[in-house]
Structure 1
Amino acid sequence: MKKLVILAIAFSAVLVSCKENKKVEVKEEVAVIKSASDLNNVDVTASVLNWKGAKPTGEHNGTVALKSGGILIENGVITAGEFVVDMSTITNLDMKGKAGAGKIEGHLKSVDFFDVAAYPTAKFVITNVEKKDDKLAVTGNLNIKDVTKSITIPATLSEVDGAYVFKSENFNINRADFNIKYGSKSFFDNLKDKFVDDLVEMSFVVKTKA
């Protein structure tokens, strides 16, 4: 039994370490030099924001659809981009088909989390792209609720059947940075095992129209 406990603690430490390594640095919002808001060349039916959240009793994952977006690509290089996320489409996948999925979706849309009635969209606006080896370091302003912060995420850009596919690696944001307080140890004490992890894993898959 003692060995099992030690192994469980070690495994948890590895998971936390992996999450921390993927956590993006949050900086103040930066000026947008070139805008892609009017391009509207993103295929929203083929694009998605993936998410994963955790708590002591387990984790949940799902998707959020894009409402609109544009990517400006010049000579094969991203020079501007904007992804508008429709927060009313938050979907839970791990419990799909069960009553629990609707409960989770409703809670995420409520004032406890993303307050979709007041903030129906979120947005990521690209401000700078640098090539690092075979990947891109994409910096942009991430807006969630009433907070906008600059983050840099690793991504790739490929061309498939006449369309471009922007795909980010998994990255973690700290929801406390965006004023999402429910069950957060950053805002509340004595939560014991009733807390919800502050780190939220995300990834973008954005495809342009062919």
Structure 2
Amino acid sequence: MFSIHFPFVMKKFALSALLVASVLAAPAVAKDPTAPKAATTAKAPASYKVQPQLSTLGWVGKKVTGQHNGTIQFKSGDVEVQGSQITGGTFLVDMTSLKVVDITDADTNGKLMGHLRSDDFFSIEKNPTATFKITRITPIKGAAAAANNATVAGELTIKGITKPVSFPAKVGVKNGVAAASGTATIDRTLFDIRYGSKSFFESIGDKAIDNDFTLSFNVIAKK
């Protein structure tokens, strides 16, 4: 029988958030462009391994009559670190781990899960993983200590379709740990997920589902 371990999910998110916060308390990645440049020898980026058990990925999908939210798990990944800055990375998401956490009734939860796994949405049986590859990280000048300090751009692949995405995030490196947190807004229709979209079904009325959904992440990688 389908069951939800909601307290465990919340505990994992809380622990991950605390760990990310401790790393991101380090100085922002952006450097003062007017500061004198020291003569240094460039080193190859170091590779940090994503820690799936310490990282979290949450999703929220909205519709006219409300919204649903849940979690997905990172499967693996590598983060490139140059000195005290994150410069790149590749992340593999286990789509088979997708869960709905806001519906407590097992039967209703199972029906929504089945629909999200179907070809109407993520075609998980055919596409068990999704990937994100960082192509560029641009520091946000003048970012406050507690605010997002970088714009992350990259290539997101869902259902075998790859599209460019970008979003603000707070990133940092401290004591052999790289961390990133933030929220990305994704247009699902770019990945051939059109079910319930008013962009393709104009007469759908109050059964419409927003094209955009959000992914909130706390990522921890270790040297």
TM interval, short-chain normalised: 0.7 to 0.9
2:179 paired residue number:
165
CA radius of gyration, larger in: 2
DSSP-derived class of the 1:193 partner: helix
Q: 2:219 aligns with which of 189, 203, 206?
A: 206
Q: 1:184 aligns with which of 197, 200, 207?
A: 197
Confirm or deny: 8 A CA contact 1:80 1:126 kept in the other structure: yes
Query: Match of 2:205, as an amino acid?
Result: K
1:148 paired residue number:
162
Give the structure-1-normalised TM-score: 0.76
Identity of paired residues, percent?
38
Query: Match of 1:205, as an amino acid?
Result: N
DSSP-derived class of the 1:41 partner: strand
CA-CA distance at 1:159 after TM superposition: 4.3
2:83 paired residue number:
75
Tell me whether 1:86 sits opposite 2:100 in the alignment: no
Q: Distance in 2 between matches of 1:140 and 1:89?
A: 23
Distance 1:74 1:159, change over 3 A: closer
CA-CA distance at 1:80 after TM superposition: 1.5
1:47-101 CA distance string (max 9 Å, x none):
1221100112210011110111010111111121011111001111112464322
Q: Distance in 1 between matches of 2:66 and 2:54?
A: 29
CA-based RMSD of the aligned residues comes to 1.9
Tell me whether 1:115 sits opposite 2:115 in the alignment: no
CA-CA distance at 1:41 after TM superposition: 0.5
Query: Match of 2:161, as an amino acid?
Result: V
Query: Match of 1:149, as an amino acid?
Result: K
Q: Distance in 2 between matches of 1:96 and 1:76?
A: 43
5+ residue gaps, structure 2, are 1-44, 144-148
Confirm or deny: 8 A CA contact 2:197 2:208 kept in the other structure: yes
Query: Match of 2:150, as an amino acid?
Result: L
1:10-67 CA distance string (max 9 Å, x none):
xxxxxxxxxxxxxxxxxxxxxxxxxx9xx57110111122110011221001111011
Distance 1:206 1:129, change over 3 A: same
Confirm or deny: 8 A CA contact 1:82 1:124 kept in the other structure: yes
DSSP-derived class of the 1:115 partner: coil
Q: Distance in 1 between matches of 2:180 and 2:167?
A: 12
**Ranges of 4+ aligned residues in structure 1 off by more than 6 Å:** none
Confirm or deny: 8 A CA contact 1:40 1:68 kept in the other structure: no
Give the structure-2-normalised TM-score: 0.71
